[in-house]
Structure 1
Amino acid sequence: MRVDLHTHSTASDGTDSPAELVRKAAVAGLDVVALTDHDTTRGHAEAIAALPEGVTLVTGAELSCRIDGISMHMLAYLFDAEEPALLAERELVRDDRVPRAQGMITKLQELGVPVTWEQVARIAGDGSVGRPHVASALVELGVVPTVNDAFTPDWLADGGRVFVEKHETDPFEAIRLIKGAGGVAVFAHPGASKRGLTVPEAAIVEMAAAGLDGVEVDHMDHDADTRARLRGLAKELGLLVTGSSDYHGSRKTCVLGEYTTDPEVYGEITRRAFGAFPVPGAGGAV
């Protein structure tokens, strides 16, 4: 069984529609794929309607969090998408994305970069606008060669010249909300130092005590030493270890199924969750 528990669609900052994503998951030989768009579940219905036979969908989201000034992401799996408290927090984060993007555009214009809100909005389409859309605009304008090159101190990285903060959830509150909605909480790419400062291990210890279920270890932004260190920490703390592609379509170089989660860990995630259940494919019919 091949299980990929971290992907994005056009509902946030991916380039494949939810329907295209689940069809590509089948072509990639995945048995299970999680749709975890940033702070939204808007793509779930389309993904379920298009889900090929033989592929199971895990519904989820990647929640934007911040602790001690450090940005981090929390993967939430199989929660009740209509649970009021978690829904309200997701909406609060999403509503802050537009003024944040507009603030970054203003800073870019002050630096002489001719980016516009209309350009970024076109790139974002119906998705929740975010830094990757601004980065794509910089690529279109020839300012940087790739999206990843936009995430540097010169441009969009945390604390960079055009960085603008947005509302982000305290991770301990995120864990509480996810668990309260019947979901499972996994810290996404905790050792991705190329993205900026990473959360210290002491904070992960505290999150584990607060109910964190797991850490995403096998990820394209983790080198071998980082994976080994995180795997050891997870064992020490009794946390689940997941692996995922963090697929974004053509916006990033990762491919579906590049890293996967052990089927036994996937089974444990489904046993812990009670807010929603995995959806088996029905050949594209609801």
Structure 2
Amino acid sequence: MRIDLHTHSTASDGTDTPTELVRNAVATGLDVVALTDHDTVGGHDEATAAVRALDTPFTLVTGAELSCRIGGVSMHMLAYLFDRAEPELARERELVRDDRVPRAQGMVAKLRELGVPVTWERVAEIAGDGAVGRPHVATAMVELGVVPTVSDAFTDEWLANGGRAYVEKHEFDPFDAIRLVKGAGGVAVFAHPGAAKRGQTVPESVIAELAAAGLDGLEVDHMDHDEPTRARLRSLADELDLLITGSSDYHGSRKSCRLGEYTTDPEVYREIFRRATGAVPISAI
């Protein structure tokens, strides 16, 4: 069984529609995929319909990737199989999502001050109906020839945390995120915790505190983790009795990662399913 528990669609900053994501996951040979758009569940209904239209065994795990910050450090929390109608978590997701537009507009203004002729109209067009974010701004920069790839925009020179054109946004406190996810019957996994090239990472002492607060797992096998980092995180997860997941963090053509590039052990997936009480996976057959 091949399981990818971290993907994005056009509901946030991916380039595949939810339907295309499901079909591409099936074509790639995946058995299970989680749709974890940034701070939104906007793609869940379309992805669910796409799965139910399949004539081959396949499972969709509904989720979201929540934007968090602690001690000035940004981090992401993968939330799986929560009740999306639970009001407290839904309200906080809405606050984060609503702050995305003024934040992106602020980044556009900073880029223009730096001599980059990007426009808000073009960024909004690229984002479409999705939750606008830095990858959409980065895509506009690629179109202008400012940087060769989206990833090259995520540097201190441009859009990385603390970069010249970076703008902060409203984010969850990770302890609150864990409390809200668990309160909505979901499972919480710290996404790419060792991705140092994205900026400052959360110290292991804080990860231990998050584990004590109910964190379920660490995303260890990820394209932004080299082998020594994976080994360190695997050891930490074992020490803290946390689940270990692996995922592609697929964004379609916007990033170089491929669906199923990293996967999660079936036993870990079954444990996530066992712990969740807010929703159940959607199966084609």
Alpha-carbon distance, 1:228 to partner:
0.3
Q: How does 1:114-153 map to 2 (within 5 A)?
A: 114-153=117-156
1:195 matched to 2:236: no
Aligned match of 2:71: 68
2: CA distance between counterparts of 1:189 and 1:266?
17
Aligned match of 1:21: 21
Aligned match of 1:44: 44
Aligned match of 1:231: 234
Alpha-carbon distance, 1:55 to partner:
1.1
Please point out which of 221, 244, 249 is paired with 1:246.
249
1: CA distance between counterparts of 2:25 and 2:109?
38
Amino acid across the alignment from 1:72: M
1:259 matched to 2:262: yes
RMSD over aligned CA atoms reads 0.5
Alpha-carbon distance, 1:101 to partner:
0.4
2: CA distance between counterparts of 1:17 and 1:143?
27
2: CA distance between counterparts of 1:234 and 1:72?
17
Deviates more, 1:44-53 or 1:56-65: 44-53
Aligned match of 1:12: 12
Amino acid across the alignment from 2:3: V
Alpha-carbon distance, 1:186 to partner:
0.1
Partner of 1:242: helix, strand, or coil?
strand
1: CA distance between counterparts of 2:113 and 2:230?
40
**TM-score of the aligned structures, taking structure 2 as reference length:** 0.98
CA deviation profile, 1:49-79 (whole Å, cap 9, x unmatched):
1113311000000000000000000000000
1: CA distance between counterparts of 2:235 and 2:72?
26
After superposing on structure 2, the runs of 4+ consecutive aligned residues of structure 1 that deviate more than 6 Å are none
Aligned match of 2:220: 217
1: CA distance between counterparts of 2:195 and 2:284?
33
**TM-score of the aligned structures, taking structure 1 as reference length:** 0.98
2: CA distance between counterparts of 1:258 and 1:110?
38
Unaligned runs of 5+ in 1: none
Residue identity over aligned pairs, in percent, reads 78
1: CA distance between counterparts of 2:57 and 2:27?
11
2: CA distance between counterparts of 1:4 and 1:38?
16
Amino acid across the alignment from 2:175: F
Aligned match of 1:274: 277
2: CA distance between counterparts of 1:250 and 1:4?
17
Aligned match of 1:174: 177
CA deviation profile, 1:2-23 (whole Å, cap 9, x unmatched):
0000000000000000000000
What is the aligned length? Answer: 282
Partner of 1:6: helix, strand, or coil?
strand
1: CA distance between counterparts of 2:200 and 2:18?
31
Alpha-carbon distance, 1:111 to partner:
1.1
1: CA distance between counterparts of 2:92 and 2:147?
34
Amino acid across the alignment from 1:45: D
2: CA distance between counterparts of 1:22 and 1:119?
28
Alpha-carbon distance, 1:187 to partner:
0.1
Unaligned runs of 5+ in 2: none
Alpha-carbon distance, 1:182 to partner:
0.1
1: CA distance between counterparts of 2:34 and 2:44?
10
Aligned match of 2:108: 105
